Amino acid sequence: MGAIADWVTVGSELSWQPWLFGAVLNAVLLLIVWRLPKALLTPAGIVHAWFLGVIVWGCLGWPGYVVVGLYFIAGSAVTRVGLAEKEAAGIAEKRSGARGPENVWGSAATATVCALGVLGAIATNSPQWIPWLWLGYVASFATKLSDTFASEIGKAYGKRTFSMVTLQPVAAGTEGAVSLEGTIAGVIGSLLIALGGWGVGLISLLGIAICAVAAFIGTTAESFIGATLQDKFNWMTNEVVNAINTLIGAIAAIGLGVILGLG
């Protein structure tokens, strides 16, 4: 807790300095993103990503920022794998993968709650909650990147795609569809984020395994929801399902941490 607590507080008072630094840093970085030849964010997505980045930097400092940055870079990169073929088949992400506000918060709402929870724990001198919130934060992004890797690699390279419910072959890109290639890619995606979280000191070595298992639970639940419920409710968009997915991953990770005596 020490480094982050020192970053967001001065003595016993919360500091405004990380928030100002985060505001400037995000403005500079997102200006660079906006000027890239290939759009990674829509104009509205850039605004919302700025707010997300400021919250993460203000609450978690550079360690939390590294994790969300790793998610954004890896997720944007894998979305473009086989993009031409996916667009031709009509199964590519809309706007060629450029993220809008709905994508930003669908992916990061759970992580934002965890980050704000860390700030609250520091402000109320309740450090016992912080390791669990760190774990939930990392696990939520591990779950989302696992889902993104599984979906994008499965659509691009999946040779045999099955329904989560019926186990019958279905077309690539079908809601709730899974493939061996996509599943393996999903595990790799979750480990990428978990290793990043460990590298910056937010989780332990055991936390890496916990995040990977939690991400598998979350992505499996997401596939089941997509196959059984998504088409039945107009409000259950992909972004809502993503938010549910990351919430399940974070809760699963914290639950596994409690069972295994982590923290």
Residue 193 burial by Cβ neighbours in a 10 Å radius (0-12, 13-18, 19+): buried
Residues with pLDDT less than 70, the chain: 1-14, 83-97, 173, 263
Per the listing, tokens 């019926």 go with 166
Contact 147, 222 (CB under 8 A): yes
Q: Give one DSSP letter per residue of 102-126, joined into a string.
A: HHHHHHHHHHHHHHHHHHHHHHTT-
The values of phi and psi at residue 128, to 5°, are -65, -20
Contact 206, 262 (CB under 8 A): yes
Nearest to 211 by CA among 156, 165, 250: 250
User: What is the C-alpha separation between 162 and 170, in angstroms, rounded?
Assistant: 5
State pLDDT tens for residues 32-55.
988 887 778 899 999 999 999 999
Residue ranges with strand state E in the chain: 9-10, 13-14, 161-163, 177-179
C-alpha to C-alpha distances, 242 to 34, 109, 218, nearest whole angstrom: 24, 9, 10
Domain boundaries, the chain: 2-259
The values of phi and psi at residue 201, to 5°, are 90, 15
Which pLDDT belongs to residue 173? 67
Strand partners, 13: 10
